[in-house]
Amino acid sequence: MAQITLIEALTMAMAHEMARDPSVVVLGEDVGVNGGVFRATAGLSEKFGPVRVLDTPLDETTIAGIAVGMAAQGMKPIAEAQFDGFVYPMVDHIICHAARFRTRTRGRLTCPLVLRVPWGGGIRAPEHHSEANESIFTNVPGLRVVMPSSPSRAYGMLLAAIRDPDPVIFFEPKRIYRQYKEEVADDGEALPLDVCFVLRDGSDVTLVTWGAQVKETLEAADALAKEGISAEVIDVATLKPLDFDTIHESVKKTGRCVIVHEAPRTAGFGAEVAARLAEHAMYDLVAPVERVTGYDTHIPLFRLEMKYLPSVERIVAAAKRTLAAG
């Protein structure tokens, strides 16, 4: 078994499915000979040829619309949005068509596509390259919205996304593309697309997060442990559909919850988690739910971006507030 990074795990998953299923194709800007600007599709063009690893014209509308058309006609396209900030021209096709072909045609046509979106800030990138825009998609019926945060989850979840009969928005936390390596077997084993992952058991407070913030949240749990506070960490790798049961079970045990996400606070996906806690876990809670999020501002250019992103310090402080409250 090879030690690989998160992004190498994505490449491995795509290569695995392309070899297994001739209907799987990759399309996007610079995904071919160049292997993608982040190298996610490195080597695929050599292996599978330029027809199945398609360099599209520089037009996101084309990428999304072509992927929808192909998916409706029996292909399984993996479309790449080069950066999170470039998905907006794709949204019409994703919302009006990919997400609703099944409904509109009563199941006659479906749209089993994967839209891969390198996601989030913290890599000192130019403007429009650092967006955390997952909640635009989590409000859309018919979509699955997922975001892995480790090499092994990236591999298993991308396999599952490609095999899923419905459209999947696959967010890739690019800040942790190469954060660490992990042993991942190329065994074709997919992971479920509707469960949260409990990354660390704890009894005093539940820290709920996803994407690149898993890194800071685990570090916060370490810091809390040093002060004798036991934090449970949940990675909501599948935002939609949400596995609320796993979160609820944890909160039953801890009575406290801190939700950590990079996106702006208002109507961010944390609001949905908090609302479910209010609906279903009010009497399990001993302290108000805390949210540690991006601010309701645009993510600043890179000199200030780390001030915007949730920090270990902010997460630890929020966890301590829940302990002080009850």
Partner 1 sequence: MSIAASFEIEYLQYLDPEGKLVRNDLPEFARDPKQLVELYKTMSFVRVFDSKAVALQRTGKLGTYASCLGHEAAHVAIGSAMHIDDVFAPMYREYGAQFVRGVKPREVLMYWGGDERGNDFSGPAHDFPWCVPIATQCLHAAGAAMAFKIRKEPRVAVSVVGDGGSSKADFYSAINMAGAQTLPYVSVIVNNQWAISVPRSAQTGAKTLAQKGIAAGLECLQVDGNDLIAMRTAMDYAIKRARHGHGGMVIEAVTYRLSDHTTADDARRYRPDGEVKAAWEREPLKRLRNYLLAQKAWSDKHEEAWKAECERIVDIEVNAYLETKVQPVEAMFDFVYAELPVDLQEQRAQVLALEKR
Written as one letter, the residue type at 133 is N
CB of 26 to partner 1, least distance (A): 12
Beta carbon nearer to partner 1, 60 or 262: 60
Contact 238, 287 (CB under 8 A): no
Beta carbon nearer to partner 1, 97 or 291: 97
Beta carbon nearer to partner 1, 9 or 75: 75
Q: DSSP per residue over 115-162, as a string?
A: EEEEE-S-S---TTS----HHHHHTSTT-EEE---SHHHHHHHHHHHH
Beta carbon nearer to partner 1, 109 or 136: 109
Annotated catalytic residue 129: yes
Active site residue: 129, 248, 261, 298, which one? 129
- Residues within the interface to partner 1 (CB under 8 A): 25, 51-52, 54, 56-57, 59, 61-62, 64-75, 89, 92-93, 96-97, 101-110, 141-142, 144, 164-166, 194, 241-245
154's CB contacts (< 8 A; 6+ apart) are 6, 7, 9, 10, 13, 148, 172
CB of 162 to partner 1, least distance (A): 14
Beta carbon nearer to partner 1, 93 or 256: 93
CB of 119 to partner 1, least distance (A): 22
237's CB contacts (< 8 A; 6+ apart) are 146, 147, 148, 149, 153, 157, 196, 197, 210
Alpha carbon separation from 47 to 9, 51, 90, 160 (Å, rounded):
17, 11, 28, 22
Q: Which residues pair with 79 in a beta bridge?
A: 27, 115
How far is residue 110's CA from residue 262's CA, in Å, rounded to a whole number? 32
CB of 41 to partner 1, least distance (A): 17
CB atoms within 10 A of CB 241: 13
Contact 231, 319 (CB under 8 A): yes
Alpha carbon separation from 96 to 50, 195, 240 (Å, rounded):
29, 27, 18
CB of 62 to partner 1, least distance (A): 4
Length of the chain (residues): 326
Residues involved in catalysis: 129
